[in-house]
Amino acid sequence: MRVLGLKAPALAAAAVAVYATGFLIYGVLFSAQWMALSGYTAESFAGQEWRMALSPVMPVVIAVGMGLLVRDRGITTWQAGLRLGLMVGICFLVTARAYNFVYGTEPVGLLALDSLHLLLNGAAAGAILGGMKAAAP
């Protein structure tokens, strides 16, 4: 089965990897640090839990976007996919995220943590989609 000319299993694997990266960084490894850097407490987040239901949307969009780039560039190896993912991570994901830091008052630690997450998202999605030859016939 294909979605936009891309293998659906490859897209699903990339989306799961992006989601898992966020879970590991924000849910397991740096949860307390993220809460402190963001200024959140359990009480301040109360009533906002519905937002978590939106969390699968971003990994799917990242996977589809990376898949289209992998397809259009003719990438068929995980190494080339990884390079593309790192380039997208640095040039688009992290750079767009930096606007919150530049024009806001958030701490540099939050920018660093979020940037790590976004860079790993691009790298994982690119490597998976390239390695699984997502656009191959």
> Residues 41-89: pLDDT tens digits?
878 878 888 888 899 999 999 999 999 999 999 999 999 999 999 999 9
Alpha carbon distance 5, 73 (integer Å): 14
For the entire predicted model, the pTM comes to 0.90
- Look up the domain containing 29 and give its range: 2-38+56-131
* Residue 85 is assigned to a structural domain of this protein: yes
Sequence-separated (6 or more) residues with CB below 8 Å from residue 17: 124, 125, 128
Helix runs in the chain, H state only: 8-22, 31-38, 42-45, 57-73, 78-88, 95-102, 108-131
So what's the pLDDT on residue 136?
Answer: 80
* Residue 48 is assigned to a structural domain of this protein: no
* Residue 43 is assigned to a structural domain of this protein: no
* Residue 136 is assigned to a structural domain of this protein: no
* Residue 6 is assigned to a structural domain of this protein: yes
Alpha carbon distance 85, 70 (integer Å): 9
* Residue 73 is assigned to a structural domain of this protein: yes
- In terms of pLDDT, which residue wins out, 38 or 79? 79
So what's the pLDDT on residue 84?
Answer: 98
* Residue 44 is assigned to a structural domain of this protein: no
So what's the pLDDT on residue 137?
Answer: 77
So what's the pLDDT on residue 83?
Answer: 98
Length of the chain: 137
Contact between 38 and 92 (Cβ < 8 Å): no
pLDDT average, residue stretch 108-129: 97
* Residue 137 is assigned to a structural domain of this protein: no
Total domains present in the chain:
1
Buried b (16+ CB within 10 A) or exposed e, 94-115: beebeeebeeeeeeeebbebbb
